[in-house]
Structure 1
Amino acid sequence: MTCAVSVLLPVRDAATTLEAALRSLLRQTFSDFEIVAVDDHSQDGSLEILRRWAQREGRLRVLENPGRGLVAALEHARAAARGALLSRMDADDVCHPRRFELQVSHLLRHPELAGTGCRVRLFPRGRLRQGWIRYESWQNEIVSCDDVRRERFVESPLVHPSVTLRAAAVARAGGYREREWPEDYDLFLRLLEAGERLDKVPRCLFFWRHSARRASVQDRRYDLERHREMKLHFLLAGPLSRTAEAAIWGAGPNGRRWARLLRDAGRRVHFFIDIDPHKIGKCLDGTPVRSAAAAQDAALPFVLGAVGSPGARPLIRQALRAVGRVEERDFLFVQ
């Protein structure tokens, strides 16, 4: 029996939050969906909760992970899914009642899209540090396909459990892969590098729980170095495959780290660009630091903007565009 949407819900030791997540799914205004819940060897009674709910809700299908870990659970759920659309959900998050209604209607109106996300709100607010507030704001500024593509090497431009993807597009990309880096960001980059289009419904439809127990906090595959390794992999296979040379805008710790990664990968870093007068004219790690005037050089190589200061990227983008540089062809931003 088919349905429009299959919700992929991996569950591991989520007994304290699982029922709230399930309630939010079953209160959706759009009803043509199934929940494919895969228990990943829970030890806290999560499997029993799922089975109890499944007895009274026919749209909930409960499976046990034949492997171990998130990727195996996601792939098991994907293989069992009967919907043409795959919506992600985590067992500690909460959906707005109209999430599926608005995402499904958006995809019906835009058949060119491989998937869509939405704006999100982190909770509980009292636990959030300023860095997470800035991250939430950055996520919610990304809405259009162009936004998603432009920001893809800064951080994951979509929040994974907020997305609804076409099952056929995920299959074309090869599904979820077990790598030494985040499985969701890896999938998004493969979709984007294959030319697929992703965007967001410009409404807050997902409430994303911030917890020290999240995989993105605990699992080393989600740490900053693993993210950089993944971004480098896709940069070398994509935008940087056409050049062996680059310049780095930003001579701070992030820019210098990217310069080392590029050199280790056999790319030549000609120079840093920076606005700090204490750095301009010096050499850092053997690489000269030039002022922003270097952007006007006719022979300027491909530029990676690696400045993380709030508001810096729009200014750098404006400076490069002002001298005829085209984003994606001539420059990109990384973090």
Structure 2
Amino acid sequence: MVNPLVSILIPFKNVEEYLEECLESIRSQTYQNWEVLAINDHSDDNSLAIAERFSQLDNRFKIFTNTESGIITALRKAYKHSSGEFITRMDADDCMTKDRIQTMLTSLKEKGEGSLAIGQVKYFAENGVNDGYDRYEKWLNQLTADGTNFKEIYKECVIPSPCWMVHKTDLDLCGSFLPDRYPEDYDLAFRFYEKGLTCISCNKTLHYWRDYDTRTSRTSEHYAQNYFLEIKLHYFLKLEYNPNNTLVVWGAGKKGKAIAKSLTENNIDFKWVCDNPKKIGKDIYGVKLIHYSELQTIENPQSIITVANEEEQMSIKFFFSELKKKPAEDYHFFC
């Protein structure tokens, strides 16, 4: 098909202040063969009325109501009603650049199935973007520019949730929106990775990501750090862990302890290392902490790094390079 249909999935809830701008950015796309499947997830403001007004003006906007609750069930309903050969996401409080759909579709048609189109993102906020989001934006865009997103997937979500596109066949291969695991965007990124999809590099900003205090990712419990850690460990054990190697956890801070606790609860043996003299020798969850230098004597270590400080991470990378260990193979950063 010369101009295939692209399905745009949009769950929405109480976004009356931003929804019109979002939908207008879709109407302004240079590529015009698209459909919007917008799912009202129990809004109690004017969001539904705004969406319905767009559907009356343009029959490419198709509005449905979520009979269940939550973004995952809303996405399932949107996907069920989609007809496109290509599928993409959109957040109801964000905006697309005019060429986003055309750019992603062109790259996917060139690369074929087994590929994942992504775009660079730009945060914006009424009161300015905080340092954390600014660092995340720069980190994510650098990965996207190189197409190397999956190399750092255990650090943070490496696929911007509202700025990807895939062949429908590939989304089905990856389980679409069937799992109930939150954060749903991070879980889907891991399933893209698990099934071997290739990220298509992109140097263009295709999506404007709005930040504000009541954004779902800031307020919902489903996006708390413990959920992120659970997903990381779940997929690490499924995709990376080799029982013939010695599993090592590096770091005894909050994240390190959470991972160590989960491993002990699942009866998975591991060594626990750190560089804090106050913690070395202590017994926590039945595991004694040892100095990281003992990694030099451990045969075939497979390490999870839970140290967040960037300078310390650089030192850790140097330490492993001296041991001839490879990143994303012999050791993975979890933050």
TM-score, normalised relative to structure 1: 0.89
The letter of the residue matching 2:160 is V
How far off its partner does 1:256 sit?
A: 3.1
Matches for 1:101-180 after TM superposition, within 5 Å: 101-111=102-112, 113-124=114-125, 126-143=127-144, 147-180=148-181
**Greater displacement, 249-258 / 263-272:** 249-258
Return the alpha-carbon distance in structure 1 between the equivalents of residues 219 and 263 of structure 2.
28
**Greater displacement, 311-320 / 256-265:** 311-320
Which residue matches 2:27?
26
Structure 1 residues 334 and 105 mapped into 2: Cα distance closer, same or farther (>3 Å)? same
Return the alpha-carbon distance in structure 2 between the equivalents of residues 72 and 58 of structure 1.
23
How far off its partner does 1:25 sit?
A: 0.9
Structure 1 residues 204 and 243 mapped into 2: Cα distance closer, same or farther (>3 Å)? farther
The answer (yes or no) to whether the contact 1:92–1:209 under 8 Å persists in 2 is: yes
Structure 1 residues 127 and 75 mapped into 2: Cα distance closer, same or farther (>3 Å)? same
- Kindly report structure 1 stretches of 4+ aligned residues shifted beyond 6 Å: none
Matches for 1:133-282 after TM superposition, within 5 Å: 133-143=134-144, 147-243=148-244, 245-274=246-275, 278-279=277-278, 282=281
Which residue matches 1:37?
38
Which residue matches 1:55?
56
Structure 1 residues 329 and 180 mapped into 2: Cα distance closer, same or farther (>3 Å)? closer
Structure 1 residues 69 and 163 mapped into 2: Cα distance closer, same or farther (>3 Å)? same
TM-score, normalised relative to structure 2: 0.89
Return the alpha-carbon distance in structure 1 between the equivalents of residues 250 and 200 of structure 2.
27
Structure 1 residues 146 and 45 mapped into 2: Cα distance closer, same or farther (>3 Å)? closer
Return the alpha-carbon distance in structure 2 between the equivalents of residues 208 and 51 of structure 1.
24
Return the alpha-carbon distance in structure 2 between the equivalents of residues 314 and 117 of structure 1.
28
Return the alpha-carbon distance in structure 1 between the equivalents of residues 162 and 311 of structure 2.
27
The letter of the residue matching 1:306 is T
Which residue matches 1:283?
282
How far off its partner does 1:107 sit?
A: 1.4
How far off its partner does 1:5 sit?
A: 1.0
The answer (yes or no) to whether the contact 2:8–2:36 under 8 Å persists in 1 is: yes
Deviations 1:302-327 (A, max 9, x none): 11121111254454334323422233
How far off its partner does 1:265 sit?
A: 2.1
Structure 1 residues 318 and 150 mapped into 2: Cα distance closer, same or farther (>3 Å)? farther
Whether 1:299 aligns to 2:299 is: yes
How far off its partner does 1:280 sit?
A: 8.0
Deviations 1:213-243 (A, max 9, x none): 2221222111111111122221222211534
**Greater displacement, 106-115 / 43-52:** 106-115
Whether 1:64 aligns to 2:65 is: yes
Return the alpha-carbon distance in structure 2 between the equivalents of residues 65 and 99 of structure 1.
27
The letter of the residue matching 2:49 is E
Return the alpha-carbon distance in structure 2 between the equivalents of residues 334 and 106 of structure 1.
31
Please list every run of 5 or more consecutive structure 1 residues that lacks an aligned counterpart in the other structure. Answer: none
How far off its partner does 1:169 sit?
A: 1.3
Aligned length: 332
The letter of the residue matching 1:34 is E
SS at match of 2:316: helix
The answer (yes or no) to whether the contact 2:31–2:101 under 8 Å persists in 1 is: yes
How far off its partner does 1:93 sit?
A: 0.3
**Greater displacement, 42-51 / 255-264:** 255-264
The answer (yes or no) to whether the contact 2:174–2:192 under 8 Å persists in 1 is: yes
Instruction: State the superposition RMSD in angstroms.
Output: 2.5
The letter of the residue matching 2:98 is P
The letter of the residue matching 2:156 is E
Return the alpha-carbon distance in structure 2 between the equivalents of residues 312 and 248 of structure 1.
15
Structure 1 residues 199 and 294 mapped into 2: Cα distance closer, same or farther (>3 Å)? farther
Return the alpha-carbon distance in structure 2 between the equivalents of residues 132 and 144 of structure 1.
18
How far off its partner does 1:279 sit?
A: 5.0
